[in-house]
Structure 1
Amino acid sequence: MTGDHAARPGMAAPRLALAGWVLFDWAAQPFFSLVQTFGYAPYFVRVMVGDPVAGQAYWGYGTAVAALLIAVLSPTLGAIVDQMGRRKLWIGATGAIYALCCVLLWFCRPGEPGAIVMALAAVCVAAVAIEIAVMVNNAMLPGLVDRSHVGRLSGLGAALGNVGGVVATLLVLTLFVANPGTGKTLLGIAPILGLDGAHQEGARAIGPFSALWFGCFILPLLLFTPDARPIRTGTPTIRAGLSALRASLRELPRHPALLRFLIANMIYTDGLVALFAMGGIFASSILGWTAIQVGLFGMLVTTAGIAGALAGGSLVDRIGARAVVLLTLGLLMAALAGTLSLGPDHVGPWAVAPPRPDRVLFDSAAERVYLAIGTLIGLCSGALLASTRIVLIGLAPPDRLTQFFGLFALSGRVTAFLGPLSVAVATQLMASQRAGIAVLMVFFAVGMALLATVKTR
Structure 2
Amino acid sequence: MAETIVAGRTPRRGIWGWMLFDWAAQPFFTVVTTFIFGPYFVSRMATDPAMGQAAWGYGIAAAGLVIAILSPVLGSIADQTGPRKPWIGCFAAIKIFSLCMLWFAEPGSALVPVVLLFSLASVAAEFSIVFNDSMMPRLVSKEEIGKVSNIAWGLGYLGGMIVLIFVVAFLAGSPDTGKTIVGADPLFGIDPRLGEDARATGPISALWYFIFILPMFLFTPDSGKGMAIGPAVREGLAELKSTLREVRKRSGIFRFLIARMVYQDGVNALLGLGGAFAAAMFGWTITEIGIYGIILNVIAIFGCLVASRLDTALGSKAVVVMSLVLLTLATIGIVSTGPGYTLFGLWQMPGADGPGLFSTPAEKAYIAFGLLVGIAFGPVQASSRSYMARSVSADEAGRYFGIYALSGRATSFLAPFLVASVTAAAGSPRLGMAMIILFLLGGLLVLLGTPYPADEAE
Query: Structure 1: which amino acid aligns with 2:220?
Result: T
Q: Name the residue aligned to 2:175.
A: 180
Q: Name the residue aligned to 2:186.
A: 191
Q: Whose relative contact order is higher, 1 or 2, with alpha carbons under 8 Å and at least 6 apart?
A: 2
Aligned 8 A contact 1:325 1:387 in 2? yes
Q: Name the residue aligned to 1:451.
A: 447
Change (3 A) 1:355 1:95: farther
Query: Structure 2: which amino acid aligns with 1:62?
Result: G
Query: Structure 1: which amino acid aligns with 2:60?
Result: T
Secondary structure of 1:342's match? coil
1:419 lines up with 2:427 in the alignment? no
Q: Percent identity?
A: 40
Change (3 A) 1:7 1:180: farther
Name the count of aligned residue pairs: 450
Q: Name the residue aligned to 2:325.
A: 330
Aligned 8 A contact 1:98 1:126 in 2? yes
- Residue 389 of structure 1: how far off its partner (Å): 4.8
Q: Name the residue aligned to 2:290.
A: 295
Aligned 8 A contact 1:284 1:294 in 2? yes
Q: How does 1:50-449 map to 2 (within 5 A)?
A: 50-112=47-109, 114=110, 116-144=111-139, 149-228=144-223, 231-315=226-310, 321-347=316-342, 348-357=345-354, 359-389=355-385, 396=391, 402=397, 404=400, 406-449=402-445
Counterpart CA distance in 2 for 1:153 and 1:252 is 26
Q: Deviations over 1:134-184 (max 9, x none)?
A: 222223334445565554443332221111011111111111122222212
Change (3 A) 1:222 1:239: same
- Residue 257 of structure 1: how far off its partner (Å): 4.1
Counterpart CA distance in 2 for 1:144 and 1:421 is 37
Aligned 8 A contact 2:99 2:117 in 1? yes
**TM-score, normalised via structure 2 length:** 0.90
Secondary structure of 1:343's match? coil
Aligned 8 A contact 1:190 1:197 in 2? no
- Residue 317 of structure 1: how far off its partner (Å): 6.5
Counterpart CA distance in 2 for 1:249 and 1:418 is 22
Q: Deviations over 1:90-123 (max 9, x none)?
A: 22221111111111111121124x3x11211110
Counterpart CA distance in 2 for 1:424 and 1:363 is 29
Query: Structure 1: which amino acid aligns with 2:328?
Result: M
Counterpart CA distance in 2 for 1:356 and 1:58 is 29
Counterpart CA distance in 1 for 2:49 and 2:122 is 22
Change (3 A) 1:100 1:383: closer
Counterpart CA distance in 2 for 1:54 and 1:36 is 17
Secondary structure of 1:412's match? helix
Counterpart CA distance in 2 for 1:275 and 1:134 is 19
Query: How big is the alpha-carbon RMSD for the aligned residues of Structure 1 and Structure 2?
Result: 2.6
Aligned 8 A contact 1:177 1:200 in 2? no
Change (3 A) 1:139 1:364: same
- Residue 411 of structure 1: how far off its partner (Å): 1.4
Query: Structure 2: which amino acid aligns with 1:259?
Result: F
Secondary structure of 1:415's match? coil
Aligned 8 A contact 2:79 2:225 in 1? no
Counterpart CA distance in 2 for 1:8 and 1:56 is 46
